[in-house]
Amino acid sequence: MVCAIVASLGGVQAKADPGVYVAGEAPLGGSAARIDVYSPAMDRVIQNRVIKAAGAGAPTLYLLTGLGGGDDGISWWDDTDVVQFFADKNVNVVMPVGGAFTLYTDWIADDPGVGRVRWETYLTDELPGVIDSALGASGRNAIAGVSMSASSALDLTIRGGSRFDAVAALSGCPWAADPLGIGMASAQAVRGGGNPGNMWGVPGGAVWREHDVFANAGRLAGKTIFLSAASGLPGGLDRGLPMPPVEAIAGACTAAFANRLGQLGIPATYVHRPTGSHTWGQWEADLREAWPHLAAAIGA
């Protein structure tokens, strides 16, 4: 499938990879649909839950989920009011299903535990072209991630060049190619049965440094950035199983990354909540707070 490059609302529609195609579509009620897309990079079909804007020419928000990739029934779709919230918004919302324990990155080698992983290629090169063509989207995009995928959203924005105009990282732990960052990123891959060496090679080596969001933070200049995390203390926004230690770590990591951006003179909106313990109730509120910033950046 090849689509023309069309300028609209200041954005440019992505040209779809000729090998990428819509393998199927099914209604999910209202303006929502499941759009299945074949990824040549991973040689399989990826499910994507999509909330369609009312008309053509709307921008797109890509929403990534946490450690289980949504295959576990835990996701924006399953655990928040995302469908109702975006029903009247001038934006297409795309929520890929899959990517558990992968950090939504391209692994340098196929892995016995997690298989062939090329999520960066899918999210930056393959999927946007299909979405732009199928929905008549404007070509202007934002991306948001939560927990595991918060750091991934930052990494994808850095590495995606002009693909994403805005990014929201909610309750994540932005990684660096230092022992702490290597340990935290590796632990997420290992939990899914993956070998971190198949992800980015020798710990601390060249590929790890390429994905070091602290070292590469300067490449976020000109993007709209929203960061949020909480203290780990349970509070009124929480809904679901609280994980106070995880959120406390995310709070420290996010504060450190906000400080890094400040050192570089890169503007960012940073929200630190006094209560919140790594639950979907917290993230539902975070996304609502992030949305006006993302919307302004992509013309929604």
Domain that includes residue 13, residue range? 7-298
pLDDT, tens digit, for every residue of 183-226? 999 999 999 999 999 999 999 999 999 999 999 999 999 999 99
Beta partners for residue 92, in sequence order = 60
Strand 32-39 to strand 21-29: parallel, antiparallel, or no bridges (unpaired)? antiparallel
The contacts found for 27-32 with CB under 8 angstroms, 24 or more apart, are 30/83, 30/87, 31/87, 32/83
Q: What is the CATH number of the domain that holds 40?
A: 3.40.50.1820
User: Whole-prediction pTM value?
Assistant: 0.93
Asked if residue 1 belongs to a domain, the reply is: no
Asked if residue 127 belongs to a domain, the reply is: yes
What is the distance between the alpha carbons of residues 21 and 150, in angstroms, rounded to a whole number? 27
Quote the Cα angle for 67-69-75, to 5°. 95
Is the predicted pLDDT of residue 170 greater than 50, yes or no?
Answer: yes
Question: Which residue, chain included where needed, has tokens 């990517």?
Answer: 99
pLDDT, tens digit, for every residue of 59-80? 999 999 999 999 999 999 999 9
Q: What is the pLDDT of residue 16?
A: 55
Asked if residue 2 belongs to a domain, the reply is: no
Q: Which pair of tokens denotes residue 199?
A: 């992800």
Question: Is residue 89 packed enough to be buried (19+ CB in 10 Å), middle (13-18) or exposed (0-12)?
Answer: middle
- Distances from the Cα of 148 to the Cαs of 20, 111, 165, 266, 285, in angstroms? 26, 19, 21, 23, 18
The number of folded domains in the chain is: 1
Is the predicted pLDDT of residue 9 greater than 80, yes or no?
Answer: no
Asked if residue 268 belongs to a domain, the reply is: yes
